[in-house]
A and B are shown apart, each in its own frame.
Chain A
């Protein structure tokens, strides 16, 4: 099954690796990255993806343990993040065209959602 992910476009695999490194929050070895993504990839594929992300400057690496550890490169002091937040939530009118993944929940929606998720996982 090592080639399950290889049929996917390389870009999608890169984004999965990047997401995993950001989610971890701490540097990961290539082997740890391999278990932190849902696709079942060969070791060499993960190494190639990490190499490509390093070249793009999205991921940094330093020696650690056996071989290298990799970490997500943060932009300068989260500047872009803060400005984006201000742009999107500035004022009372919200962008309709930028569809958010989820909106905040009203209290009765939160209760309803917790009930639904609990039914799924009793």
Chain B
């Protein structure tokens, strides 16, 4: 029965392939929602199960056993197996917690620094221009879409023609209006909980960009224009490579995010709301939730027996 608590630790490995299939086939804003929510549910399952698995080991300590009013030792299965799983769970939980703590601190510091810097620059319609020749642009989330800022360098504005500049601004407005940073933050948090969820991060990031691209294309009324804006901005950034990071995930033979976005804009707008992969994603989350819940109930009953509440059958 302890396996009920182990299954949710394995299920996240199914997320990356399902997320990729979902992102390829469904409307990007829906894909963004579904994949980020899926990652959040699976991460919650992982943390719950790791915590529950730690319990048998913790309750061996006389202090904690007395605190939990245990009359008998907790029976959770073969002692050696339980001890091994329990110890591994404790280690995994410690690793995840420290990664999350470090990551959150760094991210909050970065956001705060960026916000402080932008606070000193006057804005027009949410746009802040940095006097920098290196082409770069991003959306800096505020508390509300109104306090969010579009930060663009002069180099980026010079690399684009007037209509392409408009596509860029619409893309960044869509990030702010859609609260995309929340989805990215949730996916990032989930990624710290489980390595499989971390490998789904590029899919979430691409879905957010695709959603903003589609919104920009709708606002400008021209998909090809939006595609050209992205393409020319990327080429300009690459020509002025100093300090720009090439995504490490761009493995050989796979198409990186920018060509994928351009290709998608040259094709027809995606309209599908539901695909089998999306249903499978829902089932996956349901299975992880049910397994965690079943395992937790079983463990709870075990604790009650150890407390002498139910006579052991």
Chain A residues within CB distance 8 Å of chain B: 9-20, 22-23, 25, 36-38, 52-53, 56-58, 72, 74-75, 78, 80-85, 87-89, 93-106, 108-110, 112-114, 116-117, 119-121
State whether A87 touches B238 (Cβ < 8 A): no
Q: Once the chains bind, are A85 and B233 in contact (CB under 8 Å)?
A: no
**In the complex, chain A residues whose CB is within 8 Å of the CB of B120:** 75, 80
Chain A residue, CB-CB nearest to B233: A102
A116 and B117 alpha carbons, distance in the complex (Å)? 37
- Beyond A11-B126, A89-B243, is A104–B107 a contact (Cβ under 8 Å)? no
Q: Mark B186-197, 1 if CB is under 8 A from A, else 0.
A: 011000000000
Q: Could you list 18 examples of A-B contacts with CB < 8 Å?
A: A12-B169, A14-B125, A18-B129, A19-B165, A22-B129, A23-B158, A23-B165, A53-B124, A85-B132, A99-B181, A99-B184, A101-B172, A105-B234, A105-B237, A105-B258, A109-B255, A109-B256, A117-B262
Q: Is the interface of B mostly helix, strand, loop or mixed?
A: helix
Q: Write out the residue numbers on chain B whose beta carbons fall within 8 Å of the beta carbon of A13.
A: 125
Q: Which residues of B contact A17 (CB under 8 A)?
A: 124
For residue B188, give the distance in angstroms from its CB to the closest CB of chain A.
Answer: 5
Q: Chain B residues with Cβ under 8 A from A52's Cβ? A: 124
- Closest A residue by C-beta to B114: A87
Contact between B256 and A88, CB atoms less than 8 A apart: no
Contacts of B256 in A (CB 8 A): 103, 105-106, 109, 112
State the B residues within 8 Å of A (CB).
103, 106-107, 110-111, 113-114, 117-118, 120-127, 129-132, 134, 136-141, 150-154, 156-158, 160, 162-163, 165-166, 168-169, 171-173, 175, 180-181, 184-185, 187-188, 201, 205, 208-209, 212, 224, 227-228, 230-235, 237-238, 241, 243-247, 250, 252, 255-259, 262-263, 266
A103 near B244 with CB under 8 A, answer: yes
Name the residue on B nearest A20 (C-beta). B162
In contact, A15 and B125 (Cβ under 8 angstroms)? yes
Which A residues lie within 8 Å of B227 (CB)? 116, 120
* CB-based contact B168/A101 at 8 Å: yes
Which residues of B sit under 8 angstroms from A78, Cβ to Cβ? 130-132
A117 touches which of B157, B160, B231 (Cβ 8 Å): B231
CB distance from B258 to the nearest CB of A (A): 6
Chain B residues with CB under 8 A of A53: 124
Secondary structure of the A side of the interface?
Answer: helix
| Contact B231–A19 (Cβ < 8 Å) | no
Interchain CA distance A112-B201 in the complex, whole Å:
23
**Is the Cβ of A22 less than 8 Å from the Cβ of B114?**
no
A26 to chain B, nearest CB (A): 11
Which residue in B113, B166, B208, B230 is a CB contact (below 8 Å) of A99? B208
**Are the CB atoms of A120 and B228 closer together than 8 Å?**
yes
* A95 shortest CB reach to chain B, Å: 5
Contact A112 B246 (CB under 8 A): no
Whether A25 lies near B125 (C-beta < 8 A) is no
CA–CA, A102 to B255, complex, Å?
A: 14
Complex Cα distance A96/B103, Å? 10
Q: How far is the CA of A45 from the CA of B205 in the complex (A)?
A: 38
A18 and chain B: residue at smallest CB distance: B124
Cβ B235 vs Cβ A110 within 8 A: yes
